[in-house]
């Protein structure tokens, strides 16, 4: 997934009901952190990308979102 | 996985058989178990095949015959952030934490940010005591590998699974968000207690607001985590002091809605979980047991300990947590 799509995911409120619980909670935490500190977006984006790279299920979760 | 409600002697025999076990039950029985590959936590309540019950003379045992290895670790509170370092690749991890301990508080406040936490299913529960002993008895966890009892820290069992196994960790939340602006709350800071809260853009004292509005404090506050409904239960409202305490932290930046009322908790569970649950490792909340009057009532095939907080990666309240393992 490209940065643009992941950024939209972190700054939006897309429902991830079909995703794994791990992905739902992690993305929710990152969204809350980005809302609280918008300048943290690049760091949170990197954290999400690292999570996807480490956990194939997360990439599948988000590709289907 | 296999779930059993066993006598002490039958549990001893199962420990001798060698499969990894997660054991819930009264402290008097846990303290008599021999060393082995097991972790234990105190509670005297369980949802059994015959319905909710006190289990003062029995132990609720979940057996993990699928596991190819098990490592048990006790982490003190200051080392909780290393929790995921023990994850066996492709496996699952179980965690038990005593209620009202420093580890309980630290895990609830900081757990969501621990490195690697979400890299594999982390399922567990907060151990408790009989409700009449809450102020006099400390909940505990038992490390079967060492035979040690702990009243603080987190006890972990990291399970290795055969290659090709699939796992699933999820929750069943019988509550829904009311979406009434008058009961929609945003908190200015994360914590187990709150004084001020924003309701419809106006800051009010939460304790006095709850009292004045006559809100039902048996209903949880429910946040939507990208499609996962996450509850925070109200522990106490002190209108005089102007403070509300919770069984899990409210999170700054999350939007909470008071849950819609429920007439029948057992029916609500049955409607959500249907015929599933056989062979699943699960736990359910003491508040559901008490407020829903689940003693003697069946909640489908999801049987397991009744707990003082549920863990599915993070601390949850008034929620059923379920872990499934399928081997190739």
Q: Per-residue pLDDT tens for B189-205?
A: 999 999 999 998 899 99
pLDDT band at B165 (very low <50, low <70, confident <90, very high): very high
Q: Nearest residue on chain A to B169, judged by CA atoms?
A: A21
Taking CA atoms, B80 is separated from B73, B74, B117, B140, B156, in Å, by 11, 9, 11, 17, 10
pLDDT, tens only, B127-163: 999 999 999 999 999 999 999 999 999 999 999 999 9
Cβ of A32 under 8 Å from any chain B Cβ?
yes
Average pLDDT of chain A is: 95
Contact A17 B254 (CB under 8 A): no
Asked if B226 and A32 come within 8 Å (Cβ–Cβ), the reply is: no
Residue B115 has pLDDT above 80, yes or no: yes
Contacts of B291 (CB under 8 A, 6+ apart): B218, B265
Q: Does A15 lie at the interface with B, CB-CB under 8 angstroms?
A: yes
What Cα–Cα distance (Å) separates residue B277 from each residue in A19, B37, B280? 20, 25, 5
Strands B122-127 and B310-312, by their bridges, are: antiparallel
* For residue B2, pLDDT beyond 90: yes
Would you state the pLDDT for residue B278? Answer: 78
Count other C-beta atoms under 10 Å from residue B117's C-beta.
Answer: 20
A25–B227: do the CB atoms touch at under 8 Å?
no
Instruction: Report the residue of chain B nearest A56, measured CA to CA.
Output: B119
Shortest alpha-carbon distance between residue A62 and chain B (Å): 12
Mutate to test the interface with B, among A9, A11, A29, A38 (most CBs of B within 10 A): A29
Give the residues across from B27 on adjacent strands: none
Interface A:B, Cβ pairs < 8 A: 58
Does the beta-carbon distance from A24 to B112 stay under 8 Å? no
**H-helix or E-strand containing B101?**
none
The answer to whether the CB atoms of B226 and A36 lie below 8 A apart is no
What gap in Å lies between CA B196 and CA B23, rounded to an integer?
A: 41
Pairing outcome for strands B191-194 and B243-250: antiparallel
Determine the structural domain holding residue A48 and report its residue range: 3-11+19-63
A24 lies within 8 A of chain B by CB? yes
Q: Are B114 and B80 in contact (CB under 8 A)?
A: yes
* Percent of residues, chain B, with pLDDT higher than 90: 91
SS3 at position B119: helix
- The CA distance from B250 to the nearest CA of chain A, in Å, is 13
- For B42-95, the pLDDT digits (tens) are 999 999 999 999 999 999 999 999 999 999 999 999 999 999 999 999 999 999
- Cβ of B251 within 8 Å of Cβ of A32? The answer is yes
Using alpha carbons, select from B199, B259, B207, B214 the residue that is nearest to residue B236: B207
Output the pLDDT for position B272.
86
Helix A21-36 crosses helix A41-54 at what angle (to 10 degrees)? 170
Task: Give the CA count within 13 Å in the CB-facing half-sphere of B220.
Answer: 28
| Residue A55, min C-alpha distance to chain B (Å) | 7
Closest CA to B39 of B55, B58, B59: B59
Among chain B residues, CA nearest to A23: B118
C-beta of residue B78 within 8 angstroms of C-beta of residue B31: no
Contacts (Cβ under 8 Å, ≥6 apart) of B190:
B109, B249, B250, B251, B252
- When pLDDT is averaged across residues A34-40 and rounded to a whole number, the result is 96
Partner residues linked to B199 by β-bridges: B185, B202
- The pLDDT of residue A1 is 78
Q: What are the chain B neighbours of A20 within 8 Å (beta carbons)?
A: 168-169
Q: Tell me which residue in A17, A22, A31 faces B313 most closely, judged by beta carbons.
A: A22
Per-residue pLDDT band for B267 (boundaries 50, 70, 90) equals confident
- The mean of the pLDDT values for chain B is 96
What tokens were used for B148?
A: 């040690």
Task: Work out how many domains chain A is built from and give that number.
Answer: 1
Residues of B in contact with A32 (CB under 8 A): 251-254
Strand partners, B256: B185, B223
Query: Which pLDDT belongs to residue B271?
Result: 85
- Alpha-carbon distance of B119 to B125, in angstroms, equals 19
What does the alpha-carbon distance between residue A54 and residue A41 come to, in Å, rounded to a whole number?
20
Q: Strand (E) positions, B33-108?
A: 38-42, 45-48, 51-54, 59-63, 69-75, 92-98
pLDDT for B274 equals: 76
Lowest mean pLDDT among A39-48, B82-91, B274-283: B274-283
Of A28, A33, A51, the CB nearest to B226: A28
Examine the pLDDT at B279 and tell me if it is beyond 90: no
User: To the nearest 10°, the Cα dihedral for B306, B309, B310, B314?
Assistant: 180
Minimum Cα–Cα distance from B121: chain A residue: A22
- Quote the CA–CA distance of B202 and B215 in Å, as a whole number: 18
Contact yes or no for B251 and A55 at CB 8 A: no
How near does any CA of chain A get to the CA of B119, in Å?
7
Q: CA B255, CA B269: separation in Å to the nearest integer?
A: 25
**What are the DSSP calls for B179-215, one per residue?**
--GGGEEE-SS-EEEESEEEETTEEEEHHHHHHHHT-
Q: B276 pLDDT exceeds 80? A: no
Residue B322 is predicted with a pLDDT of 96
Task: Determine the Cα–Cα distance for residues B295 and B47; give it in Å rounded to an integer.
Answer: 8
* B210-240 confidence digits (pLDDT tens): 999 999 999 999 999 999 999 999 999 999 9
Which residues in chain B have Cβ-Cβ distances shorter than 8 Å to A23?
Answer: 118, 226
Residue B315: closest CA among chain A residues belongs to which residue? A25
Using CB atoms within 10 Å of the CB of residue B200, give its burial: 0 to 12 exposed, 13 to 18 middle, 19+ buried.
Answer: exposed
Among the partner-chain residues B226, B252, B253, the one whose CB lies closest to the CB of A24 is B226
């Amino acid at each position: 997934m490209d940065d643009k799509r992941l950024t939209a995911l972190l700054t939006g409120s897309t429902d991830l009901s079909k995703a794994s619980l791990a992905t739902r909670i992690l993305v929710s935490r990152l969204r809350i952190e980005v809302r609280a500190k918008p300048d943290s977006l690049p760091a949170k984006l990197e954290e999400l990308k690292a999570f996807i790279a480490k956990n194939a299920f997360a990439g599948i979760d988000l590709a289907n979102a | 996985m296999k779930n059993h409600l066993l006598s002490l002697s039958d549990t001893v025999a199962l420990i001798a058989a060698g499969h990894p076990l997660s054991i819930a039950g009264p402290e008097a029985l846990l303290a008599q178990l021999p060393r082995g590959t097991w972790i234990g936590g105190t509670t005297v309540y369980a949802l059994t095949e015959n319905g909710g019950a006190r289990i003062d003379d029995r132990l609720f045992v979940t057996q993990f015959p699928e596991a190819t290895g098990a490592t048990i670790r006790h982490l003190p509170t200051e080392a909780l952030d290393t929790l995921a370092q023990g994850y066996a690749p492709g496996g699952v991890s179980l965690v038990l934490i005593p209620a009202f301990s420093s580890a309980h508080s630290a895990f609830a406040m900081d757990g969501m940010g621990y490195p690697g936490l979400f890299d594999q299913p982390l399922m567990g529960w907060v151990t408790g005591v009989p409700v009449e002993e809450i102020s006099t008895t400390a909940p505990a966890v038992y490390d079967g590998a060492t035979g040690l009892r702990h009243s603080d820290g987190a006890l972990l069992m990291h399970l290795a699974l055969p290659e090709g196994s699939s796992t699933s960790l999820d929750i069943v939340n019988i509550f829904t968000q009311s979406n009434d602006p008058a009961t929609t709350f945003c908190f200015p800071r994360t914590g187990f207690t709150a004084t001020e809260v924003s309701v419809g853009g106006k800051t009010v004292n939460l304790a006095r607001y709850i009292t004045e509005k006559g809100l039902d404090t048996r209903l949880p506050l429910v946040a939507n985590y990208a499609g996962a409904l996450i509850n925070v239960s109200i522990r106490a409202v002190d209108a005089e002091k102007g403070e509300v305490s919770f069984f899990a932290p409210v999170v700054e930046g999350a939007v909470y809605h008071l849950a819609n009322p429920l007439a029948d908790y057992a029916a609500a569970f049955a409607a959500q979980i249907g015929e599933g649950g056989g062979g699943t490792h699960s736990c359910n909340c003491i508040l559901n047991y008490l407020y829903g009057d689940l003693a003697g009532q069946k909640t489908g095939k999801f049987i397991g300990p009744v707990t003082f907080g549920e863990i599915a990666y993070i601390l949850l309240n008034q929620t059923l947590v379920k872990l499934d393992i399928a081997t190739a």
